[in-house]
Amino acid sequence: MNSRTYLPFALPEIGEEEIAEVVDTLRSGWITTGPKSKRFEENFAAAIGGGVEAVSCNSATAGLHLALEALGIGAGDQVLTTPYTFTASAEVIRYLGADPVFADIDPRTFNLDPTAATAAAGRCERLKALLPVHIAGQCCDMDALGTLAGKLRVPVLEDAAHAFPATFAGRPVGTLSEVTVFSFYATKTITTGEGGMVVSRDERLLRRVRTMRLHGIDRDVFDRYVSAAPQWYYEVVAPGFKYNMPDIAAALGIQQLKKARRFLERRIAIARTYSEALAGLPLRTPVVARPADVHSWHLYIIQLELESLTIDRARFIELMAEQGVGCSVHFIPLHLQPYWRDRYNLKPDSFPVALDAYQRAVSLPIYTRMTDVDVERVIRAVRSIATRFAR
Ligand SMILES: *Cc1c(COP(=O)(O)O)cnc(C)c1O
């Protein structure tokens, strides 16, 4: 890529293997949920390990909704989560008529702060679950959150949309709590275009997820057509949803999963290069709280030292774009968004750490299709802007 072309903030890496697998699906005659989604589920569960099972769905948002429903969350219940996330993490709580209770974040990791979570939980009367989000692919402090959940006797649902593959204290994300949901959205670490996966060891919970994923029918379409029961017979046991993953998408997932290790290594290498090259500038590079953990590096978020710069974050991103580098912001905290702000009467300083992190945050491009030249170009752009506008 030469210096005149624009480096997008994110791009998927789709190879001939994915294309061939999709074509095979198209030719097979079975394009909706069927043998490929089943295979993707089995392969994904095996990649996580630890005896988990996986249920595919058409997005992580759908997966989070299904997981909360299967945990029995309903009207008037409360679910504790973070304001520093994408709105999907919290909207699913509202789908069920329940209310999110927000707690502030750790300024170093942007993850739910266990101390703030404990304080917020203490003010709840109907708290039914914890919903931590592993921001950027760095696992939350699951020891502290697990201890809190144990004391409260509530389950933990992890939003691991950023965190495949990642570990906490040597254990893979997906094996750490009652249920975990991964995303295969176009920009995520592996992609099916749109897609998600619900992972758990709890067979009863997963049975409910499978049922609600497809209209409340107690077996999925594929099972209906291959088992011994009459092909036309099914039973509806609940008013379910339409959240199944088509085989066209699962075909992509099967091949992406095979590349996950290489993808991870590339992301780690880019993150390392950035952190070394950007040291000493008026900005903070991402803090790795537990270096022994696997960090999936879905995002690389720098924090501008605004006190040492003459420009704000918006101008910084504009200048990066002028140098041909696409950047983004993760995240606009939910308590600043009109819906959440007004529904729960939140003020900007309701979560001061999340507010401060947001005002400084710039996400740099980090994806496997970036060449070393692309990485250098991002570094040069950041360096030149941060140096030129240093106080
Ligand atoms: C991407 C994302 C989701 C939603 O994933 P979809 O598969 O697009 O539904 C949920 N939570 C977080 C933190 C995300 O970044």
Residues 92 and 202 in one domain: yes
Q: Which residues does 151 contact at the CB level (< 8 Å), separation at least 6? A: none
Which residues form the catalytic set?
A: 188
Q: Which residues does 200 contact at the CB level (< 8 Å), separation at least 6? A: 52, 53, 67, 178, 179, 180, 206, 209
Is the Cβ atom of 334 under 6 angstroms away from ligand 1?
no
Structure tokens at 289: 């709280």
Residues 244 and 289 in one domain: no
Is the Cβ atom of 112 under 6 angstroms away from ligand 1?
no
Atom of ligand 1 nearest to the CA of 187: 1
Q: What is the rounded CA–CA span in Å between residue 195 and residue 245?
A: 7
Is the Cβ atom of 88 under 6 angstroms away from ligand 1?
yes
User: Probe ligand 1: pick from 134, 180, 185, 297, max atoms within 8 Å of CB?
Assistant: 185
**pLDDT for res 252:** 98
Last-in-domain residue among 258, 280, 305: 258
Considering only CA atoms, which residue is closest to atom 14 of ligand 1? Answer: 161
Q: What is the rounded CA–CA span in Å between residue 287 and residue 3?
A: 30
Atom of ligand 1 nearest to the CA of 89: 11
Residues 240 and 353 in one domain: no
Is the Cβ atom of 368 under 6 angstroms away from ligand 1?
no
Tell how far the Cα of 195 is from the centroid of ligand 1, in angstroms: 10
**pLDDT for res 182:** 99
CA atoms in the 13 A half-sphere facing the CB of 371: 7
User: What residues does 361 pair with on adjacent strands?
Assistant: 303
Residues 242 and 357 in one domain: no
Spans of the chain, pLDDT less than 50: 1-2
Is the Cβ atom of 285 under 6 angstroms away from ligand 1?
no
- The range of the structural domain enclosing residue 313 comes to 260-388
User: What residues does 199 pair with on adjacent strands?
Assistant: 54, 180
Tell how far the Cα of 242 is from the centroid of ligand 1, in angstroms: 18
Last-in-domain residue among 225, 258, 291: 258
Closest alpha carbon to 109 in 136, 69, 89: 136
Residue carrying structure tokens 């190879």: 15
Q: What is the rounded CA–CA span in Å between residue 172 and residue 142?
A: 12
Q: What is the rounded CA–CA span in Å between residue 348 and residue 24?
A: 51
CATH of the domain at 64: 3.40.640.10
In a domain, 380, yes or no: yes
Q: What is the rounded CA–CA span in Å between residue 380 and residue 374?
A: 10
Considering only CA atoms, which residue is closest to atom 8 of ligand 1? Answer: 185
**Per-residue 3-state assignment (H helix, E strand, C coil) for 23-67:** HHHHHHCCCCCCHHHHHHHHHHHHHHCCCCEEEEECCHHHHHHHH
Q: Which tens digits make up the pLDDT trace of 356-376?
A: 999 999 999 999 999 999 999
CATH of the domain at 379: 3.90.1150.10
Q: What is the rounded CA–CA span in Å between residue 75 and residue 302?
A: 39
Is the Cβ atom of 185 under 6 angstroms away from ligand 1?
yes
Q: Which tens digits make up the pLDDT trace of 314-345?
A: 999 999 999 999 999 999 999 999 999 999 99
Number of domains in the chain: 2
Q: What is the pTM of this model?
A: 0.97
Q: Cβ distance 321 to 327 under 8 Å?
A: yes
In a domain, 246, yes or no: yes
Tell how far the Cα of 25 is from the centroid of ligand 1, in angstroms: 26
Is the Cβ atom of 168 under 6 angstroms away from ligand 1?
no
In a domain, 334, yes or no: yes
Structure tokens at 123: 């003010």
Q: Which residues does 53 contact at the CB level (< 8 Å), separation at least 6? A: 41, 45, 199, 200, 201, 203, 206
Residues 154 and 44 in one domain: yes
Task: Output DSSP code: residue 140.
Answer: P
Last-in-domain residue among 205, 224, 258: 258
**pLDDT for res 223:** 63
Structure tokens at 247: 């085989």
Considering only CA atoms, which residue is closest to atom 2 of ligand 1? Answer: 161
